[in-house]
Amino acid sequence: MQGVCLLGATGSIGQSTLNIIEQHPDKFFLACASANESVDKMADICRRFLPKRIVMGSQEARDRVATLCDGLPISFEWGSEALDSIAEDAQVDQVMAAIMGFAGLKPTLAGIRAKKRILLANKEALVTAGQLFMDEVAKHGVTLLPIDSEHNAIFQSLPQDEHGAHKRDFSKIVLTASGGPFRSWSLEAMKEVTLAQACAHPKWSMGQKISIDSASLMNKGLELIEACWLFNVTPNEVDVVVHPESIIHSMVSYRDGSVIAQMGNPDMRVPIAYGMTWPNRVATSVEPLDFVKVASLHFEAPDLERFPNLQLAAEAWYLGGTAMAVLNAANEVAVDAFVKGRIRFLDISTVNRAVLHSTDIQSVDSLDIVFAADKVARVMTKQYIAERNWL
């Protein structure tokens, strides 16, 4: 039996993880879980899975969950220190890092330092502090399994040793992208994108922030940076290909001309279950792929004029240092501004470019530098947005 710490239990990744735990009660149990303010969802999780400890984002949310779950043998906690603590808990064997955004970095690092198996669904941890993050993984001898469907597909398409390390005998990584809801829209039409349209992903059911990032291809840009850290490559060694069917989740091109791809119906329970059970596999109740029904697959190059965030991510990687943390912070603030109706959809990339190119980039040798860069970039982005008339 493996104890799971589920960081971000009420989001889409968290819910899919709970589904796998529920399907395999002989293999997994929920030891600890966290959420921000989703009180009712967390209360339901507590009743169904009886975790040892849960952590909420505020004292008020903690108290409300505790009241709804009165009498259950659970420790109800709140705050960042408690969040780090559950990732280190003695009952935990695996940490599912599914807190979206920069907030997921510290508790994921706490799990690494406690030598837990890390199931990484938070791409921002690698984007903002990639070298430090991977150094910690190596230092503590931790098994790191990527959960993003694309990176999980790459992992499955590469030969590994018993620790998950890869042989370097490939020539290119091919990262697939659905293209999002605006793949076929003109630049002129994209000027009028609404929040509801940006959140309507054609293939995946995701939260609001990641859906908007997917629509702008920033999500793919962050995945490009993540792939570089995970598989020790540069952006020049990663091809991004738009594949609207989302059947091939990513591919690896080898030196001899072979290409190995991981395919399947788009359902996050597959990469989650693979990460939880690697190097083995378990049933997921996901419908098998019907090749006759699929019939054909299509591929096209991404349009960097309509989706400049992808190129900005590559630029940030080559700039190095704090550039990736700056871009991530700017994008989080810009997306929030779009959600609140302060800027338009296309303005997100305009904001990101301006902040990235006007910030002093520093080398990174500690998390303090990363946190400071994140804080400065957020202030700069808010000021940049506030000083202009966007609508």
Per-residue pLDDT at 368 exceeds 80: yes
- Average pLDDT value for residue range 234-259: 95
H/E stretch holding 2 reads strand 2-7
What percent of the chain stands above pLDDT 90? 91
pLDDT one-digit tens code per residue, 306-346: 999 999 999 999 999 999 999 999 999 999 999 999 999 99
What percent of the chain stands above pLDDT 70? 98
Domains in the chain: boundaries = 2-142, 156-294, 320-387
- Average pLDDT value for residue range 219-244: 96
Per-residue pLDDT at 162 exceeds 70: no
At 165, is the pLDDT very low, low, confident or very high (cuts 50, 70, 90)? low
CA 354 to chain centre: 24
Per-residue pLDDT at 164 exceeds 70: no
Q: What per-residue confidence (pLDDT) applies to 210?
A: 87
As to burial, measured by CB atoms within 10 angstroms (0-12 exposed, 13-18 middle, 19+ buried), residue 273 is buried
Mean pLDDT over the full length of the chain? 94
- Average pLDDT value for residue range 160-185: 84
Question: Which residues are part of a known binding site for Mn(2+)?
Answer: 148, 150, 223
CATH number attached to the domain at 2-142: 3.40.50.720
H/E stretch holding 155 reads helix 149-157
CA-to-CA dists, residue 365 to 94, 132, 133, 190, angstroms: 27, 7, 11, 40
Which of 379, 347, 356 is CA-nearest to residue 127? 356
H/E stretch holding 391 reads none
Q: What per-residue confidence (pLDDT) applies to 100?
A: 84
Helix axes 208-216, 347-358, angle to 10 degrees: 80
Q: Which residue has the tokens 């697939």?
A: 176
Question: Which residues are part of a known binding site?
Answer: 10-13, 122-124, 148-150, 178, 201, 207, 214, 219-220, 223
Q: What per-residue confidence (pLDDT) applies to 168?
A: 73
At 207, is the pLDDT very low, low, confident or very high (cuts 50, 70, 90)? confident
CA distance 228 to 35: 29
pLDDT one-digit tens code per residue, 31-86: 999 999 999 999 999 999 999 999 999 999 999 999 999 999 999 999 999 999 99
CA distance 66 to 68: 6
Q: What per-residue confidence (pLDDT) applies to 163?
A: 60
Q: Which residue has the tokens 């054609």?
A: 202
C-alpha torsion 58→147→17→276, nearest 10: -120
Q: Which residue has the tokens 């009743």?
A: 47
- Average pLDDT value for residue range 128-132: 93
Which of 133, 146, 71, 130 is CA-nearest to residue 107? 133
CATH number attached to the domain at 320-387: 1.10.1740.10
Question: Which residues are part of a known binding site for NADPH?
Answer: 10-13, 122, 124, 207
Instruction: Output DSSP code: residue 28.
Output: E
CB atoms under 10 Å from CB of 12, counted, come to 18
CA-to-CA dists, residue 9 to 36, 49, 121, 244, angstroms: 9, 12, 12, 29
Q: What per-residue confidence (pLDDT) applies to 206?
A: 75
CA-to-CA dists, residue 200 to 127, 143, 207, 212, angstroms: 25, 34, 10, 9
Per-residue pLDDT at 161 exceeds 70: no
Q: What per-residue confidence (pLDDT) applies to 229?
A: 95
Q: What per-residue confidence (pLDDT) applies to 102?
A: 80
Which of 313, 337, 331 is CA-nearest to residue 323? 313
- Average pLDDT value for residue range 90-108: 93
Which of 83, 28, 95 is CA-nearest to residue 53? 83
